[in-house]
Amino acid sequence: MRLAARSSRLSSWYYALFDHSFDREHRAVLVGRLAWEESKQAAGKTSSLLRRNIHRLEKGLLMRPRRPIFALDYIGETFAFYESAIQSDGSVSITGEELHWAYDVLSEYFSVTGSHPRIDPLRERFQSLPVPPGVNGQPWRPYKRDLSKPPSVGYEDLLALAWRRRSVRWFLPEPVPRELIEKAIEVAKLSPSACNRQPFQFQVFDDPDLVPEVASLPGGTAGFSHQFPAIVVLVGELRNYYGERDRHLIYIDASLAAMSFVFACETLGLGTCCINWPDIEEDEKRADEVLQLEPDQRPIMFIAVGFPDPEGMVAYSQKKPNSQICRYNFE
Ligand SMILES: Cc1cc2nc3c(=O)[nH]c(=O)nc-3n(C[C@H](O)[C@H](O)[C@H](O)COP(=O)(O)O)c2cc1C
């Protein structure tokens, strides 16, 4: 190990020859890249190319000052994807909402960009395509927010909510209404996500026959998982990325969504406990089977959900002072 740690190349050889801890991740990244390649022309397993590029167009549209011509390097592939999705038979994994958003942003793009030999033919083809169903009213494109009123949730309320939220491990034996889970996901999905790809799924288990099996997958639930009313598995999908450089985004984006989900649950009277999913090969194999995962799908974390048992205690969980976790300008 000491020798291998001297350089990145030697470390790679170490993991190729002596330690196979990264094998599963390597395969997941490659399988994801292949799925992305296959989805390039029209959404196959992922609509990420369209989502990412429409997001980039929105950034171009809101730029100050806005350039008269932009997106020349990717408008061709964006339009090709959109065109084939519009003309497809509905079997591709793209939603009506995605097409609606793409239509409104592309409309704005083609109406504000100047004439250019690479843009003009696309503009013409765009105008001859059918308008996706549901497009009307306020367009889904960059807009100015109404900042005249303060937010309805004040800082003190948010701080109180953060203090109130604790990891809950003891629950009442009551089912969790799906309506509440859906409401929490409504908030979770508004979290930031790199290039707005949202590369995750909330896999929710509330069937009393399934919950104990799923809840026993991670090791950190021993002694209390038997009474979880519901459990959510946040699963990341590497099919959303064209390259290795973005492989960590499934963890970042899913974790941001998890935090919003947990806070939303708290406001709905539900307690939650995030549960670790360490990369242990034996556990991964079992999770693949139980959760029916594809090779590019990676469990990020589990979240127990239920109505908290008022008699159950929560940990004090002292938090670090700001002085320990915050630093200004290398001071
Ligand atoms: C990624 C992650 C993994 C966690 N894994 C477990 C776990 O396996 N078992 C458990 O009981 N709690 C787990 N927790 C909960 C933490 O122990 C808890 O958040 C921490 O002690 C702080 O307590 P608090 O959430 O009440 O503020 C996990 C939390 C996170 C964010």
Collect all residues with Cβ–Cβ distance below 8 Å to 192 and sequence separation of at least 6.
253, 256
* In-domain check, residue 12: no
In the predicted structure, residue 41 carries a pLDDT above the cut 80: no
Domain span including residue 211: 155-306
Alpha helices in 198-307 (DSSP H): 211-215, 249-267, 281-291
Could you report the per-residue pLDDT of 306-321, keeping only the tens digit for each? 999 999 999 999 999 9
Clarify whether residues 86 and 178 are in a common domain: no
Distance between CA atoms of 44 and 25, rounded to whole angstroms?
22
Does 304 or 133 have the greater pLDDT score? 304
Distance between CA atoms of 277 and 260, rounded to whole angstroms?
19
Atom in ligand 1 nearest the alpha carbon of residue 220: 8
* In-domain check, residue 147: no
Clarify whether residues 66 and 118 are in a common domain: yes
pLDDT of residue 321: 98
- Report whether 93 contacts 44 (CB < 8 A): yes
Say how many C-beta atoms besides its own lie within 10 A of residue 201's C-beta.
15
Could you report the per-residue pLDDT of 91-129, keeping only the tens digit for each? 667 889 999 999 999 999 999 999 999 999 999 999 999
Clarify whether residues 100 and 167 are in a common domain: no
Tokens, residue 28: 């997941």
When pLDDT is cut at 50, 70 and 90, the band that residue 90 belongs to is low
Q: 96-112 and 48-62 are packed helices; what angle lies between their axes, rounded to 10 degrees?
A: 40
Atom in ligand 1 nearest the alpha carbon of residue 273: 15
Nearest CA to ligand 1 atom 8: 220
What does pTM read for this prediction?
Answer: 0.96
* In-domain check, residue 28: no
Total domains, the chain: 2
When pLDDT is cut at 50, 70 and 90, the band that residue 222 belongs to is very high
* In-domain check, residue 136: no
- Report whether 170 contacts 274 (CB < 8 A): no
Mutate to test the pocket of ligand 1, among 170, 256, 273, 303 (most ligand atoms within 8 A of CB): 273
* In-domain check, residue 78: yes
Distance between CA atoms of 194 and 253, rounded to whole angstroms?
7
When pLDDT is cut at 50, 70 and 90, the band that residue 72 belongs to is very high
Percentage of the chain lying above the pLDDT 90 cut: 92
Alpha helices in 200-321 (DSSP H): 211-215, 249-267, 281-291
pLDDT of residue 196: 98
- Report whether 50 contacts 82 (CB < 8 A): yes
Clarify whether residues 160 and 105 are in a common domain: no
Nearest CA to ligand 1 atom 3: 276
Could you report the per-residue pLDDT of 198-209, keeping only the tens digit for each? 999 999 999 999
Collect all residues with Cβ–Cβ distance below 8 Å to 159 and sequence separation of at least 6.
none
Clarify whether residues 114 and 213 are in a common domain: no
Mutate to test the pocket of ligand 1, among 217, 233, 276 (most ligand atoms within 8 A of CB): 276
Mean pLDDT of 80-93: 82
Closest CA to 214 of 201, 202, 223, 226: 226
Nearest CA to ligand 1 atom 25: 167
317 Cβ closer than 6 Å to some ligand 1 atom: yes
Q: For position 246, which CATH number holds?
A: 3.40.109.10
Could you report the per-residue pLDDT of 276-294, keeping only the tens digit for each? 999 999 999 999 999 999 9
Mean pLDDT of 268-278: 98
Could you report the per-residue pLDDT of 171-188, keeping only the tens digit for each? 999 999 999 999 999 999
Q: Which amino acid is at 255?
A: S
* In-domain check, residue 297: yes
Alpha helices in 169-268 (DSSP H): 178-188, 211-215, 249-267
pLDDT of residue 87: 86
Q: What's the whole-number average pLDDT of the chain?
A: 96
* In-domain check, residue 23: no
pLDDT of residue 42: 72
HSE (side-chain half, CA atoms, 13 Å) at 290 = 20
Clarify whether residues 164 and 293 are in a common domain: yes
Clarify whether residues 99 and 160 are in a common domain: no
* In-domain check, residue 17: no
Could you report the per-residue pLDDT of 51-68, keeping only the tens digit for each? 999 999 999 999 999 999
Clarify whether residues 280 and 210 are in a common domain: yes
- Report whether 50 contacts 43 (CB < 8 A): yes
- Report whether 220 contacts 273 (CB < 8 A): no
Distance between CA atoms of 203 and 297, rounded to whole angstroms?
12
Q: How far is CA 124 from CA 57, 99, 168, in A?
A: 18, 18, 57
Clarify whether residues 161 and 94 are in a common domain: no
When pLDDT is cut at 50, 70 and 90, the band that residue 44 belongs to is confident
pLDDT of residue 91: 60
Clarify whether residues 293 and 162 are in a common domain: yes
Clarify whether residues 209 and 70 are in a common domain: no
Clarify whether residues 163 and 123 are in a common domain: no
Say how many C-beta atoms besides its own lie within 10 A of residue 108's C-beta.
17
Beta strands in the chain (DSSP E): 200-205, 230-237, 271-275, 297-306
